Amino acid sequence: MRRILAQARKELVQVARDRMALILALVLPAFLLLLMSTAISLTVDEMPMIVQNLDGSSASIRLLDAFRASLTFKIVPWSVDANPERALSSGVARAALIVPEHFGRDMARGGGAAVQLLVDASDANTAQQVSGYAQQVVNSYNIGLASPGRSAPVTAAIRLWFNPGRDSKKFYGPGIFVLALTLFPTLLAALAVSKEGEEKTILQVYVSNISAHEYLLGKIAAIMVVFACEAVILMALLLTYFGLHLAGDPTPFVVASILYAFCVASFGVMVGASIPNQLGAVAVVALGGFLLVFILSGLLFPIENIPPALRWMSNFVWGRYYIEVVRDALLQGGGWPATWYKVGIIGLIGSVFYSVAWWNMRAMQVRD
Amino acid sequence: MFLGRFRALILKEFRQARRDRRIAFVAIGAPTIQLLVFGFVLSATVTNLPLGVVDESATPESREVVAALTESKSFRLGGYYSSVNDLGAALGRGDLDAGVVIPYDYARNLQRGLPVTMQFFMNATNANTAAIGQGYVAGVLGSYASQLAMGGIHVRRPPPGVRPVVTRGIVVLKTDYLYDPGLVGSWFMVTGILGMLLILNGSLLSSTMMVKEKSAGTIEQLLMSPATTTEIIIAKITPLFTLLLIMGTIALVAIRFVFGVPFQGNVLVVFAGAVLCMLSGIGLGMLVATLTKTAQQAQLSVFFLNPPLASLSGAFTPIQAMPKWLQPLTLLNPIAYFATIVRGALIKGSGIDVLWPDFLGLGLFTLVVVSLSVWRYRSQLG
């Protein structure tokens, strides 16, 4: 135990002395969290839209007023006789609403009066949002504005749970939190071990009487301390700047965080022990830590959207489970019933990484 | 004389690049894999959201509205629940993404012509899913309501004593999706990611290749040769540029035939943009190389330059969704310009006449970065 602590202390002193490592460890994660979760959002407001009113009746003007009043659309000027498609292809607008002639007459007659909405679908997801918002504006126009004495037979009172403001930051914040906590501690752990291999200082460790377990656990303990510091800084940001708060029982989150710290530190140590070359280790961490966790964990898009041929892979991505636990702790508040097996899997994957790292180091001998 | 010396230099660089297998892999193999994986895996489509139902009415009418909601591809039936509390718990566990509560007087009020309101819950953790799901509900109920109206069910709720003088029609919204009528999400993704890969891998490779002679100390030998610094720099860039050109071509073939993006416009426009994009990637890498001493430092710096470049580019999220104060930063981003060019030329079929501002922006960026890096590199060589 004493030897583990000594090893951990030496590791922390090294990190604290190396300015590059210190920036890597403490400043960059916070920067990444702020930048990425502010920049990444899929929900669009103030969509530029053009309108062409070929009718001019009072009904058509009221319909266009409804669009003008919405926060989602921003009406940009466009001449009535110019080709509306031109506005979309040049990127002036993302949607065009065209009210045909005789719209007012059709409305007064009763029955359906059609208006056309052209949507730039080169971004399919945004296109779906735009058409959904437009449909909502039209629905509320139909209910209220068109005929004040009448209302639609069936309406839905939609309640948004867990994130009522539909704030993207609150969804991506916890995800980027996990991404940062995956990337940087892993990188530090991998560099700490591979550096000893590259600079051959590992030989001094081999000739000492320290065992493989003690050596690895010492490194892991140091990285877990770094992880804890990072987690505190990032969590402080989430709770203040992002306006999140702990929803429900925080104990699953705390337990999962400790296990996850062990998991990423073990992954880094495993990479470092297998590749005694700093550049190679960084490349593997970039590929394994960053790419896997970034794209296969449901950070950006739901896992269900991944085609089944690739989806099974996400079951092995450690970051995925921690993201789900963090989101649960900060948004949904499902507590242990919702998360117990995820916490378990994080521990399981971590011990697999540790075993592989130990297997590589167990002899404490120079490999030939 | 000049050509002979220059040829020898280029030959040397090409041979070096060919001997290092890793370079070819990083330049061609890795980006191709990344393009395929990103294109297939990153998808924002919102379909088959599990919808839980509490049917307190239990009538043909209530089952009809449930069927109307779940027969579309947006929602699927996630199960019936006996109480709102059970439904809420399932939503909290993540078993459901949405829930609907149909009140006990649903059918009765519908027959009487009184307006009915159903309670609809959505898990809004993912803002995008919630926004699109809300739109689906509006669309489904809108068409359901007009069906009811056609079927003779009208809501009569005139204010007491006042009869509406005119009956009015209903606005029917006809939505047409231009350019990508099938709403294939991967088209947006792969056209954005192409630029990201060119910049990312271009800068990574050029920084490692440039810093290599510096850290190995062989740069002195090059300087002692009669070659000018300009020749050295051009010779260093050429093999890299060739590799990136091959990678870009492979990527475009994959975009056309694997992802089925229609090539509406001129591919040469895309290539012109790609060349500028590659040059600015190489320039960025060179710039980093002049600021660092070892390959490790260079690689790490590139590693941290890229996340901000990628996330502020609109390559996989729409620029309009960023906060207003961040959006101007995309004007400094080559990936953003190139994404607009690729999407414009391939998906929308736009030509230079529409895309010239983006070419101008990209060209300016390339010019500044390349001349800055060449200047710094040259002064370091001297």
Q: What is the pLDDT of residues B240-284, one digit of tens each?
A: 888 889 989 999 999 988 888 888 888 898 999 999 999 999 998
Average pLDDT over residues A180-203: 84
On the question of pLDDT at A346 being above 90, the answer is yes
What's the token pair of residue A101?
């002639």
Residues 171-190 of A with CB under 8 A from B: 171
The rounded percent of chain A whose pLDDT value lies above 90 is 15
Residue A159, SS3 per DSSP: strand
Output b/e per residue, B209-222; b: 16+ Cβ within 10 A.
bbbbbbbeeebeeb
The tens digit of pLDDT for each residue in B61-105 reads 888 888 888 887 788 888 899 888 888 888 877 788 888 998 888
Is B138's CB within 8 Å of A296's CB? Answer: no
Give CA angle at B90 (B124, A347), nearest 5°: 90
On the question of pLDDT at B161 being above 50, the answer is no
Is B178's CB within 8 Å of A125's CB? Answer: no
The tens digit of pLDDT for each residue in A301-332 reads 777 777 787 788 888 888 889 998 998 888 88
On the question of pLDDT at B368 being above 90, the answer is yes
CB contacts of A153 in chain B (<8 Å) are 110, 113, 115-116, 145, 148-149, 153-155
Average pLDDT over residues B299-322: 79
Average pLDDT over residues B122-149: 80
B328 in contact with A, Cβ within 8 Å: no
B90 in contact with A, Cβ within 8 Å: no
Is A156's CB within 8 Å of B117's CB? Answer: yes
What's the token pair of residue B329?
């930063």
DSSP string for residues in A246-281: --S--HHHHHHHHHHHHHHHHHHHHHHHH---HHHH
Is B175's CB within 8 Å of A119's CB? Answer: yes
Average pLDDT over residues B289-308: 75
On the question of pLDDT at A146 being above 60, the answer is no
Query: Which of A122, A195, A294 to mutate to test binding with chain B, by most B CBs within 10 Å of its CB?
Result: A122
The predicted pLDDT at position A330 comes to: 87
Is B125's CB within 8 Å of A47's CB? Answer: no
Prediction pTM value = 0.79
> At B150, is the pLDDT very low, low, confident or very high (cuts 50, 70, 90)?
low
Contacts of B112 (CB under 8 A, 6+ apart): none
On the question of pLDDT at A352 being above 90, the answer is yes
A156 in contact with B, Cβ within 8 Å: yes
Size of interface A-B (CB pairs under 8 A): 339
User: Which segment of A1-10, A43-52, A297-306, B75-84 scores lowest on mean pLDDT?
Assistant: A297-306
Average pLDDT over residues A256-272: 92
Residues 12-31 of A with CB under 8 A from B: 20, 24, 28
The predicted pLDDT at position A256 comes to: 93
On the question of pLDDT at B218 being above 80, the answer is no
On the question of pLDDT at B169 being above 70, the answer is no
Is A110's CB within 8 Å of B168's CB? Answer: yes
The predicted pLDDT at position A84 comes to: 85
B150 in contact with A, Cβ within 8 Å: no
CB contacts of B185 in chain A (<8 Å) are 124-125
Average pLDDT over residues B163-173: 59
> At B203, is the pLDDT very low, low, confident or very high (cuts 50, 70, 90)?
confident
Decide: B6 and B231 in contact? Cβ < 8 Å.
Answer: yes
On the question of pLDDT at B165 being above 70, the answer is no
Residue B356, SS3 per DSSP: helix
- Can you point out the beta strands (E) in A266-360? none
Nearest to A247 by CA among A172, A181, A170: A170
DSSP string for residues in B275-286: HHHHHHHHHHHH
Shortest distance between the Cα of B45 and any Cα of chain A, in A, equals 6
Parallel, antiparallel or unpaired: strands B75-80 and A95-99: unpaired
Q: Identify the residue whose tokens are 């450690």.
A: A318
Helix axes A212-240, A28-39, angle to 10 degrees: 50
CB contacts of B173 in chain A (<8 Å) are 114-115, 117, 134-135, 138
On the question of pLDDT at B177 being above 60, the answer is yes
- Residue B291: other Cβ atoms inside 10 A: 15
Residues 198-217 of A with CB under 8 A from B: none
User: Which segment of A150-154, A189-193, B115-119, B240-244 scores lowest on mean pLDDT?
Assistant: A150-154
Cα–Cα distance measured from residue A247 to residue A334, given in angstroms and rounded to the nearest whole number: 8
Is A138's CB within 8 Å of B173's CB? Answer: yes
B44 in contact with A, Cβ within 8 Å: yes
The predicted pLDDT at position B162 comes to: 45
B249 in contact with A, Cβ within 8 Å: no
On the question of pLDDT at B60 being above 90, the answer is no
Average pLDDT over residues A25-35: 84
The number of CA neighbours under 13 Å toward the Cβ of A317 is 26
The predicted pLDDT at position B154 comes to: 52
A83 in contact with B, Cβ within 8 Å: no
> At A13, is the pLDDT very low, low, confident or very high (cuts 50, 70, 90)?
confident
Nearest-by-CA chain B residue for A156: B118
Residue B121, SS3 per DSSP: strand
On the question of pLDDT at B31 being above 80, the answer is yes
Query: Which of A38, A128, A325 to mutate to test binding with chain B, by most B CBs within 10 Å of its CB?
Result: A128
> At B166, is the pLDDT very low, low, confident or very high (cuts 50, 70, 90)?
very low
B16 in contact with A, Cβ within 8 Å: no
Greatest Cα pair distance, chain A, in angstroms, is 95
B187 in contact with A, Cβ within 8 Å: yes
pLDDT top residue among A368 and B203: B203
pLDDT top residue among B361 and A35: B361
Average pLDDT over residues A28-49: 83
The predicted pLDDT at position B70 comes to: 86
The overall average pLDDT reported for chain B is 81
CB contacts of A124 in chain B (<8 Å) are 44-45, 180, 183-185, 187-188
DSSP string for residues in A185-229: HHHHHHHHHHHHHHTTTHHHHHHSS--HHHHHHHHHHHHHHHHHH
> At B360, is the pLDDT very low, low, confident or very high (cuts 50, 70, 90)?
very high
